[in-house]
Amino acid sequence: MAETQNNSKVKVHEVTKLTPFSSNSTTAAPFTLPLTYFDTYWFKFPPVERLFLYQITELTSDSFNSVILPKLKHALSLTLLHYTPLAGHLMWPPDAAKPAIYYLPNDGVSLTVA
C-alpha cells in the first residue's frame, strides 16, 4: 500500500501498461521525433503527474471494474493511437546531437488504479 502525506493508506488495485490501440489494419510504426530547442527548456522542471479523484455514490467495486475501468482503458488506448509520442521514451543517445522521443510498437503508458 502506498501512503499519502497524512499517513492514510491507499490500496493499489492494479498497475498496468496501456499501449496505443491496434487492430490488424492499424499499427503504429516505430519512429523517432527529435526535440526542438523549445522542448529542451522543460528539462529543468519535474515531470507532470496527475491524480484524478472521482466520487460516485451509487457505484460498486464490481461495476467499476467490469464496466467503467475497461471503457477508460480502451479510451486511453484509442487516444494514444492519435498521440503516439506520449507512449514513447525520451532518450539522448551519446552519438545524437539532441534528445528525441523514440517510439517502438510495444511502448505504452502506466495506469495505476487505486
> What local confidence, expressed as pLDDT, does residue 47 receive?
81
For residues 100 and 33, the answer to whether their CB atoms sit within 8 Å is yes
pLDDT of residue 106: 86
- Looking at residue 26, its pLDDT comes to 61
Nearest in space to 87 (alpha carbons), one of 75, 79, 97: 79
The dihedral region occupied by 80, where left means phi > 0, alpha psi between -120 and 50, and beta the remainder, is alpha
Whether this model's pTM surpasses 0.95? no
* Calpha distance 93→56 (Å, rounded): 46
Residue stretches of the chain with pLDDT short of 70: 1-7, 24-28
The pLDDT of residue 94: 94
In the prediction, which pLDDT does 16 show? 94
Cα-to-chain-centroid distance, residue 93: 23
d(CA 67, CA 70): 6
Three-state SS for 74?
Answer: helix
